[in-house]
Structure 1
Amino acid sequence: MKFSVFTASTPEWSPQEAATKLAAQGWDGIEWRVTDQAEAAEPGFWAGNRATWPMTGLEDSIPEIARLTADSGLEFSGLGGYARCDNHDDVDRVLAATAALGARQVRVNVLPLGNSNMGGPEPTGLPYPELFAATREHYEWVASRAAHHGVKALVELHHGTVTASASSARRFVGRPGSAACRRYPRPRQSADRRLGITLASTPAPRPLFGTCPCEERPLGPNRLERRFGCGRVGQRMGPSAEGQASVLAYFRALADVGYDSWVTLEDFSTELPLEERTASNLAYVRKAAALAGFAVVDPASAS
């Protein structure tokens, strides 16, 4: 099993700093964030993120992305592209960049729900069946272009989109494809290959609040309220060790289905300084993976 970091979660670091620091901590790889973002007075996850490569002119950045990644000794776990499936120009641009870098796979966003403003635009108000059908039509084109470039286009399971669950992704793909399994209450069912989904690159559950992955702590006070439909009321980002989901359960589910590839972390909490946060996350997921039965090697102890 290999561990990487999505650079949306490292906004304070330049690309050089991100590659150097993550490699020094013992991470195996990196997933670079690629998007045109708003400027900000201070670095933030979604605006002013210094570890983000712009979509505009991405072709000119390819040599530098390749150099920084190779010089640090990191691998590409993929690219974190924000191109939406209906933006064919940007999708083809990021697919071509993925191929040129040898990064193998890239996220290509599906359409948001009609009542969602994910990605910035105003909600469309369109019904789910219409959005679902439109997304599938666009993704047929995405799949053909991904095949042309020899890379994988990854469908991310994310709230506010037409693929918010493993079952919706199964309906969307319609046959074995690529998807990410993340932060849902039944990790075994989400990871199960019987859904017809090939787990290509699995982000760890996004840290929220509640119980630790080793199941050694009591539930947080908001777990039941959120679990039974109170949505985002009281939701906050917290360190991985204080998350609502059981990370250990996710690793056990991945072991059950024979998945032993990339696990990518994106921690948007701010309670710990960035460098301490990434280092502690790596130690934490290594422990959870080892408890789930994976052979995990700590480079620091091996050297």
Structure 2
Amino acid sequence: MKLSVFTVAAPDLSPEELGEAAASAGIAGLEWRCKETPAELLNEAPSFWGNNKCTIPPDAGEADIDRFRQAAARSGRKAIAVTPYLSCGDVEGTERIMRLARSLDASMVRVGVPGYDRTKPYGELYEQAIGYLREVERLALNYGVKALVETHHVTIAPSASLAHRLVSPFNPDAIGVLYDPGNMVHEGFENYRMGMELLGPYLAHVHVKNAAWRPAAASGEATDHLETVEWTSGWAPIANGVVLWKQVLRDLKAVGYDGWYGVEDFSGTFDTRTMLRAYANQMNRWMEEIL
């Protein structure tokens, strides 16, 4: 079983510390978070999407690239992906990230997908995405880096089937899907096995996290069953959310998936090092139980 960590989930560790912690936990792959960190965030406490110490900038110079490359090499880990926050249509930025991924010996890059907020029709956003992915396909084949469309809530690809609709016109060697059941708790749930079967050769990577739905605080207990109860979704420990990961693993095994499983735990249940060890132990135990 090939385990990796997306470093967004390790905000308090430096690249060197993350490499050592991953090695100690038995996690072989590193997915480097890629984003600019504004100067005003550097004095804040480490956080997933703020002052994340395990982040490489998109315009990284040779010194930064060498640091991240060495952090993987010294710990005996493998850089498998560079994961940025690209906008759909940013072809120049996408090429810059693919060039960076190749410099780090990483084979995958997450690319942009239009968000969906009811202000523009889906059809218009779909055509925009297809035009962008045509350029992405060309870049991916040129750089030898696979582009990933992630199943993600509040985008036009929240589910396996909608992600498949985006990638299906393209070469699966160039463009694939990052399958994220945790995101699909918020929006986009479909029967896991059916979605995997539909994706077929486009199923390129899997992220492992969990989430759950709870009544919104303002709603409280439902005493009048004719009154609306509002619900909200939030992150949960990997074993304790809506996603039944043992079933997901069974389904992935059934369709022949042999790729990476990248942890992205946002629950805050454990400190980073404990989270990495718990993740590796859980995944290995579950895989043994479904054999």
Which band: TM-score by shorter chain?
0.7 to 0.9
Greater strand fraction, Structure 1 or Structure 2: 2
- Inter-CA distance 59–196: structure 2 relative to 1 (3 Å threshold): farther
Identity across the alignment (%): 29
Cα drift, residue 232 of structure 1 = 8.6
- Inter-CA distance 56–156: structure 2 relative to 1 (3 Å threshold): same
What amino acid is aligned across from residue 129 of structure 1 in structure 2? G
Q: For 1:49, what is the secondary structure of its paired residue?
A: coil
- Inter-CA distance 131–102: structure 2 relative to 1 (3 Å threshold): same
Matched, 1:27 2:27: yes
| Offset from partner CA, 1:114-153 (integer Å, 9 cap, x none) | 44xxxxxxxxx22111011101101100110111111111
Cα drift, residue 24 of structure 1 = 1.3
1:216 is aligned to: none
| Offset from partner CA, 1:170-224 (integer Å, 9 cap, x none) | 21112463102221351101211x44452111112x21248xxxxxxxxx999xx
- Inter-CA distance 63–94: structure 2 relative to 1 (3 Å threshold): same
Q: For 2:229 and 2:178, how far apart are their aligned partners in 1?
A: 21
Runs (5+) with no aligned partner, structure 1: 116-124, 211-219, 223-229, 294-303
Matched, 1:12 2:12: yes
Number of aligned residue pairs: 266
What amino acid is aligned across from residue 181 of structure 1 in structure 2? Y
Q: For 1:232 and 1:285, how far apart are their aligned partners in 2?
A: 33
2:249 is aligned to: 251
Which of 120, 130, 138 is the aligned partner of 2:132?
A: 138
1:46 is aligned to: 49
Which of 193, 196, 207 is the aligned partner of 1:191?
A: 196
CA contact (8 A) 2:159 2:190 kept: no
What amino acid is aligned across from residue 54 of structure 1 in structure 2? P
TM-score by length of 2: 0.85
Matches within 5 A, 1:56-95: 56-57=59-60, 60-95=63-98
What amino acid is aligned across from residue 257 of structure 1 in structure 2? V
Q: For 1:250 and 1:234, how far apart are their aligned partners in 2?
A: 23
Q: For 2:155 and 2:138, how far apart are their aligned partners in 1?
A: 22
Q: For 1:237, what is the secondary structure of its paired residue?
A: strand
Q: For 2:17 and 2:289, how far apart are their aligned partners in 1?
A: 31
Q: For 1:60 and 1:126, how far apart are their aligned partners in 2?
A: 42
Matched, 1:96 2:96: no
2:224 is aligned to: none
1:156 is aligned to: 150
Runs (5+) with no aligned partner, structure 2: 182-188, 217-227
Q: For 2:233 and 2:201, how far apart are their aligned partners in 1?
A: 29
CA contact (8 A) 2:113 2:149 kept: yes
Q: Could you list the runs of 4 or more consecutive aligned residues of structure 1 that deviate by over 6 angstroms after TM superposition? A: none
CA contact (8 A) 2:35 2:58 kept: yes
Q: For 2:59, what is the secondary structure of its paired residue?
A: coil
Q: For 1:260 and 1:197, how far apart are their aligned partners in 2?
A: 11
Cα drift, residue 57 of structure 1 = 3.0
1:118 is aligned to: none
Q: For 2:243 and 2:230, how far apart are their aligned partners in 1?
A: 15
TM-score by length of 1: 0.81
Q: For 1:264 and 1:164, how far apart are their aligned partners in 2?
A: 18
CA contact (8 A) 1:255 1:292 kept: no
1:3 is aligned to: 3
- Inter-CA distance 168–82: structure 2 relative to 1 (3 Å threshold): same
What amino acid is aligned across from residue 261 of structure 1 in structure 2? G
